[in-house]
Structure 1
């Protein structure tokens, strides 16, 4: 192999994922960590905590929005948003098992994942309202607005649940959203949505990555 051929071969090698900036409590970070385990990349990508509130955390240089998760490649490139990261890892690993290739199936799965992400995002905003505002500053109007999103989202997704025995980006997203609701409890959902309770139980039994990515202080149930 001559020098030019060697250089071309090296240039064709895609950059590898190196580091994931995320806490172990982020529902969106958990989505990516689950994908890493499922795709056999758990031991190849280091997870480094990030502080979204710190002005000196390098996360703000890696993602100008200062949000996690953020995936860094060995080329120095940063990829952010959990869905984008999971799609990258799914293709880079060569497994192509988390997002369908068929246009119709892909749209359905991604729509379900977007709904689950919206539930988690609204729950997160409810938690932040209590964390970042003094009690007298809390807006009940805002909390009610976000609570409505969570409850409508749970109602809609309970009528079109993904297969709990099929691991894809939709089921991962829903499982992480429900896990976050269990932890932070911005709304009481288990008594109102028994189908979702059974779905999460079935998914956790079928997909070991769910228990493998629990918070260190969280006991499996």
Structure 2
């Protein structure tokens, strides 16, 4: 398998963290990418119409995009460890993934606003609105942090990758100071071998 990848993409990190937990990371070759919200990467586009990172090419050359799809595909190939079966545990894990992905969507929209637009085109109201989503999501996760315990599933991996991205690109938020339970859980989870193996370079 091959993965269009960026060391700075939190969604690509989520995919590779799952691969490490599943024990199949060594079966995935990482391909360089130049994905951009405005200037699309033609190499990825040749395989998938969204031209986004991450995009996985399976052993037959078929392309899968979106970290949620790729992670579930890898989990199925590895025998199913990270996505609980139907029932409360599954919905809890999927909802946690959804909240984490929402944090990342909002953070990346702010990042694109700052890096892909000229200063005269930027909207402070837009960025404030995205930051408000991050703040409310962090509060919700902090209130549930004790329930994460030692869980290693698609929900907790997604949350850890989202928090790691905030530390990388939005250190000024200082989220750990105001969310101590979530910060304590993240400090422990960040030492998992899969998280250490996928830690991005310093920004």
Report the TM-score, using the length of structure 2 for normalisation: 0.92
Q: CA deviation at 1:204?
A: 2.0
Counterpart contact for 2:45–2:51, Cα < 8 Å: yes
Structural mapping, 1:1-221, within 5 Å: 18-53=1-36, 54-55=39-40, 57-94=42-79, 96-161=80-145, 162-185=147-170, 187-205=173-191, 207-217=192-202
Partners of 1:145 and 1:217 in 2: CA distance: 27
Higher helix share: 2
The CA RMSD measured in Å over matched residues stands at 1.6
1:55-78 alpha-carbon deviations (Å, 9 max, x no partner): 453111222112111110121211
Q: Gaps (5+ residues) in structure 1?
A: 1-17
Determine if contact 1:147/1:187 at 8 Å carries over to the other structure: no
1:184 to 1:55, Cα distance in 2 relative to 1, 3 A: closer
Structure whose CA Rg is larger: 1
Count of residues paired in the alignment:
199
Cα 1:209–1:188 shift into 2, 3 Å: same
- Conserved in 2, the CA contact under 8 Å of 1:164 and 1:203? no
CA distance in 1, matches of 2:167, 2:40: 30
TM-score under structure 1 normalisation?
0.85
CA distance in 2 between counterparts of 1:56 and 1:27 reads 18
